[in-house]
Every structure is written in structure tokens, then in C-alpha cells.
Structure 1
Amino acid sequence: MRRLGSVQHKVPCVFVTEVKEEQSRKRECQQFQVLASDRVNPVALEADVHNAVATEKLDGTCCYVTLYKGRPHLWARLDRKPNKQAEKRFKKYQHVHRSCKGFSWNLEEDFKSVPEQWIPAHRVKHDNGRPIPDQLGHIPGWVPVDKDNKQYCWHSSVVDFRVGAAVVLRPTADDDHRLEVAAVPLSDLMEQTLELIGTNVNGNPYGLGSKKQPLHCLVSHGSIRIRNAPSVDLQQLCSWFQQSPEGRVEGVVWHCDDGTLVKIHRHHVGLMWPDGGSYLGDRPVVIHVDWTSDECSGSKNLFTSLSALNGHTFGRLQDIQFEP
């Protein structure tokens, strides 16, 4: 559902939010919390959020599939951020004005350099052909994953660059509660944004793999639907997060018919994440990865490890264990 390289976590909250001056539950260095009020965001109402499709907000790192050197390729998220001097000036302005509105950036001098291959994300605004920062002072963008760059080793682990395929987690075609781990051509994922989740990403809230046998996979944004989602009502959502097994998620993203996306995060209602496991990690999963030794050049990698489990079903996603 989510396409064109847009960045999912820039999606607005489904409710009008209020800032409270107390320690954030989400970011240790943030001395305020952004909390949802009981008023539905006018943007959400205009997009008919009450008839939208509710999907799980995933806790990982955002990726994008588009062409690189003429072939489908996995790109990693990389925001262009202010340098130290500009960041200091920006924070001082925010402290004085209690807002970032009206702050003026020098697009030539205020930002750190990025790799030559870097591209801005879609929907980033431009001024005279130059991308301009969002309200946080960041310019969201992408860089192609380099398999020889250790910084992106976990991105690289889910892709076979030679044949152009990726390890993807998704619901099975015949049962949307049951999951499958499958090898998918990158060409089938063109212009999609996805979430990389797994052992070494964001503290691994889904319990995937282990230090000895790490496991990572890509999940297309919007692919994990919430079957019994509550109404867009603050109290109902609070209760659902705390009492329903399906509510053990980081948040909810609603996909409206006109393409608008709105979300709510557990932190928007003052709840912790993760908190006692996840619904995704407890769902059954089947492995559908049939990779031959010729395809993987005889090397031991995630594709060959999963291929040894081809056809196996596990009662829970977090129970996947590779054969020795």
C-alpha cells in the first residue's frame, strides 16, 4: 500500500496531539511528551479514516526498493541532518520561540554531507531545486545498500544481490493470520517502502533469531493488516493496546482510500513499547525459501539457512531456529 519512497514515520497522528513538559517515554533525551487528545485529526476525518484499512506499525528501520545502476536494488534510510553549528542555532531558536516555525536554513552550509548516490525521499519539498528540511530539521532520503559496507550488514543479509531477491515476511495467501518467510524478487517490490526487522534492529521487539543465529527480514508497509481493529476512538484504542492480544503492537497505521496515511503510537497514549512481547512474534509462520547451492554460489548465508527449513511450520515467528 505504501509506495513511492515516502517515509512512513512522518505520518501524522490520527488524533490532534498536545505537548506536555515531562520526560518522553520514547526518547531519553527528550524532555517532553507528544500525547494524543480525544479529538480526531481533521486530516484524518477529511480522508474518511473511519472506513480506512488498519495495519500494524512495525518497529524496525525503513527501506526502499528502486533502481540503482539499472537494476532493482534495496536502499537504506539516511536523513541529511544539520551540522553542529546549525543544530545549535536551531535548538536555540526553538527554546526562545517554543516553535520551529519561521526558522531559516542555509541549504548550502547548514547540512552534513551525504554520499554521492543519496537521493531525497518522495514528498520532500524543494526550493529552487534543492530539498528542504522538515520540521525536525532533517531531509529524509535514501542510499543504495552496499554489501561491503558493515554499516548496512543487516540490510545486506536479507538480499541476494547477484540474483536480485530478498527475504520477505508477509501473510500467507490463504490465511492472513498465518505468516510466511519467502524469497521474493526485488522486481516485485519496486517502488515500495519496507521495514527491516530482526535480531539486530531496534532491540528486536519481535524476538527474531539470536546472537549466534541472527535473523532479519523485510516487511512491506501496509502488508500486516489488523483484523479486529478498534474504532478511531481514544479510549477504545487505549483499552485495545492494553487488553487485546492483537494490541501488542508498536502502533497502528490507517490507509485511507485517497492515499492518506495516519497513525497512532503507543507512546501517544502514554504506554510503553515494547511491553511483554509482541503479537507479530507470536503468530504462526511457514518457511517458503527454496534456494539451490548454485543460486547462492555455495556460500552459507540467510538464504541457504532458510532453504534448509523450506516447508517447515513454526507455532510462533520467534520460534524459528536454523538447523545446525
Structure 2
Amino acid sequence: MRRLGAVQHKVPCVFLTEVTEERSRKRDHQPFQVIATEELNPVALESNVDCAVATEKLDGTCCYVTHHRGQPHLWARLDRKPNKQADKRFKKHQHSHRSGKVLFPVQFRCSGFEWNLEEDFKSVPEAWIPAHRVKHHGGHPVPDDHGHIPGWVPVETDNKQYCWHSSVVDQDAGVALVLRPRAQGEDLLEVALVPLTELVEQTLELIGTNINGNPYGMGSKKQPVHALVAHGSLLLRDPPPVDFQQLRSWFQESPEGRVEGIVWHCNDGTLLKVHRHHLGLRWPPAEPSLSARPVVVSVPRTTEGLHGPFPSFSRLNGRCFSRLPLVSFHPEAP
């Protein structure tokens, strides 16, 4: 299987969208909803989305692997946001320029608003870097249409804010815990120990017990379970055509459709997505399709010196669990 491109920030919806006055069901701080129309995004047509590879969109937090201090390193998502005064000005401008129907790619067209790129944004750690495709002006990264500058910060073990990120990597040993499809089994997943060198310049999703309300039912408060999933690694076997009504029916009726959304990887490198919320559907369902898949643990017993859950996973090496939520370090786990 060819390696798919890393998921970029602000992946556009495969359909044109419109803004409603209802409060978002996905983001508590967002006083509006973005709903898909039945009209395909022109970019989808230009990129021949019908021939794209459809993959599962996961509900977690985005991560990135690139070099830091000369070694492959896990980075966490950290957007640089406006300070209080600039944010107040920006929201006032948004409100005065708000329109009901919005065409790709923005949710608010805020032409005419001017940022002071040196003074309007909160400080970030010295090691912070802007995400790929962030535009620059005069040597400064430019905010997106939401007023944020997407970026990354290296995960350090002594930073409690990123303790769950730290739990899935050992930076000194250069390894990570990755949930991925098992090569020999069509539906079988595996938790594997993967060298960070194999993940360089990839984006991944951190999922698990303490991430986004744990929609996949992984672990427990006493025994949390987390893992990284490479973007584009979970292929959809029989995705529906890119048609509003057929997609909506697939999300509602197909066992494979119990996913947060779909990301299409087009042959020209373009990425497009649709989220259940775009179609007015609830997330998560009673049992997401990922949760229903069997999982085998492939973490060899050569984990001496590794921290956190690595030794516990190594004791489960070779164990197969019938469903993802059953992966447990308890000796009586099925």
C-alpha cells in the first residue's frame, strides 16, 4: 500500500458549507454550526475525489513527528492565538461581517481585518514552529480565518500538559506505541512498538482514555490506555460514493459508517473531509467501528528501561482482544 500524505491543518469539507445560528455540537466555544450543503466543493471536482482513497477520520488530538535537537521527536498541536485585546477586535469584526451562507474554504470572510503580527498574539514556547502551509508575511506566520496560527511544540516528559502524549513515546529510546492495521488480517488491529525514525514527517492522532472524552472506550481511569494512529492508515474498505444522501445513509446504516468522519486522499495530494456533524448526525454512536475491531498486542518483551505503559504492553505481547475497549493490563483481561 502506498503511503498517504500527512493530514494537513484545516482540511476543507468535500461539500460546500453554510453557517447556521445554532451553537456548535462539536465545539463548546463556537456559537454557530457549519452544515454541509448537497453541492460538491469545486476543489473536490478538480482533484477527482471519486478516485481518491477514503480513510477514517479519528477523534483525538493531532501530533507530528519531526526532528528536535537532532533526533526524531513527537510534537503536540499548539495553535498560537490572539491576545485578549486582539481577539476582542477580531470577534467584533467577525460579527459585523457575518453572512449566512459561506462557500469553501472559510467560515467567515474577514477581508479588511488587519493583524499586527508582532503584537497581537500570545507568546509561545521558544521551540514552537508553525505548521506546514501556514503563510508568512514579513518573516511572520499569518493567522488563518479563525485568527489562529496552527503550529507544534515538542513534547517534553516534564510538561504535565502533555503527559498523555509522553505516555505513548520514549524519546530516549526513540520508540512509540502505534495502533495500526495488522498486515495479515483485514479487520485485525495491532498495538505495535514503532521506531520514531519510521514516523518522521508524519502526522498522527493521539486517542485513548483521557483524550476528547474517550469515544472509543479505551482503558479506564485506573489503567489508562493511549496510542498513536498515523493519519491515513485506517482505510475504508467499501466507502460510499461522494454523494450527500448516500454518505448520510452510510453513516447512519452501515457498521463501517460508525466513524467520526472520512478523509479523502486525492491523487494530486489534495485532502478533503466530511464530518458527521456536517451532515447533522450525532457523534459518537453507541459503538464506533474502531471499537468493534479485534486487536493484537505486538510489543516485544525487550522493553527494559522503557517507562510508562511500555512494560505493561510487553507483558501482553501476542495477546489478542476481541474488541479495542477490552485491551487491559489486568491479569484477568479476556
Q: TM-score, normalised by structure 2?
A: 0.93
Question: 296, 299, 304: which one pairs with 2:311?
Answer: 304
Please report how far the alpha carbon of residue 281 of structure 1 lies from its aligned counterpart in structure 2 after TM superposition.
Answer: 0.8
Q: Secondary structure at the match of 1:114?
A: coil
Question: 296, 317, 324: which one pairs with 2:324?
Answer: 317
CA–CA separation in structure 1 for the residues paired with 2:249 and 2:28: 26
Residues 5 and 269, structure 2, Cα contact 8 Å, conserved in 1? no
CA–CA separation in structure 1 for the residues paired with 2:35 and 2:4: 25
Report matched runs for 1:9-158 at 5 Å.
10-98=10-98, 99-158=109-168
- Other-structure match for 2:104: none
CA–CA separation in structure 1 for the residues paired with 2:156 and 2:42: 42
Task: Output the amino acid matched with 1:12.
Answer: P
- Other-structure match for 2:101: none
Please report how far the alpha carbon of residue 7 of structure 1 lies from its aligned counterpart in structure 2 after TM superposition.
Answer: 3.5
Please report how far the alpha carbon of residue 3 of structure 1 lies from its aligned counterpart in structure 2 after TM superposition.
Answer: 4.6
Task: Output the amino acid matched with 1:7.
Answer: Q
CA–CA separation in structure 2 for the residues paired with 1:262 and 1:122: 17
CA–CA separation in structure 1 for the residues paired with 2:23 and 2:303: 52
Task: Output the amino acid matched with 2:124.
Answer: V
Aligned residue pair count: 319
- Other-structure match for 1:7: 8
Please report how far the alpha carbon of residue 97 of structure 1 lies from its aligned counterpart in structure 2 after TM superposition.
Answer: 1.6
Q: Secondary structure at the match of 2:17?
A: strand
- Other-structure match for 2:244: 234
What does the per-residue CA deviation read over 1:198-226, in whole Å, with 9 as the maximum and x for residues that have no partner? 00000000111100000000000000011
In structure 2, runs of 5+ residues without a counterpart are 99-108
CA–CA separation in structure 2 for the residues paired with 1:159 and 1:3: 22
- The 3 A distance-change label for structure 1 pair 312 and 82 is same
Residues 253 and 263, structure 1, Cα contact 8 Å, conserved in 2? yes
Identity %: 67
Residues 303 and 314, structure 2, Cα contact 8 Å, conserved in 1? no
Please report how far the alpha carbon of residue 292 of structure 1 lies from its aligned counterpart in structure 2 after TM superposition.
Answer: 2.5
The more displaced of 271-280 and 163-172 is: 271-280
Please report how far the alpha carbon of residue 2 of structure 1 lies from its aligned counterpart in structure 2 after TM superposition.
Answer: 5.3
Please report how far the alpha carbon of residue 21 of structure 1 lies from its aligned counterpart in structure 2 after TM superposition.
Answer: 1.6
Are 1:164 and 2:170 matched, yes or no?
no
Task: Output the amino acid matched with 2:82.
Answer: P
Task: Output the amino acid matched with 1:314.
Answer: F
Q: TM-score, normalised by structure 1?
A: 0.96
CA–CA separation in structure 2 for the residues paired with 1:158 and 1:291: 16
Task: Output the amino acid matched with 2:159.
Answer: N
CA–CA separation in structure 2 for the residues paired with 1:295 and 1:3: 33
CA–CA separation in structure 1 for the residues paired with 2:168 and 2:24: 33
Task: Output the amino acid matched with 2:70.
Answer: G
CA–CA separation in structure 2 for the residues paired with 1:117 and 1:273: 35
Please report how far the alpha carbon of residue 128 of structure 1 lies from its aligned counterpart in structure 2 after TM superposition.
Answer: 1.5
Question: 175, 188, 197: which one pairs with 1:187?
Answer: 197
Please report how far the alpha carbon of residue 321 of structure 1 lies from its aligned counterpart in structure 2 after TM superposition.
Answer: 1.2
CA–CA separation in structure 2 for the residues paired with 1:49 and 1:67: 33
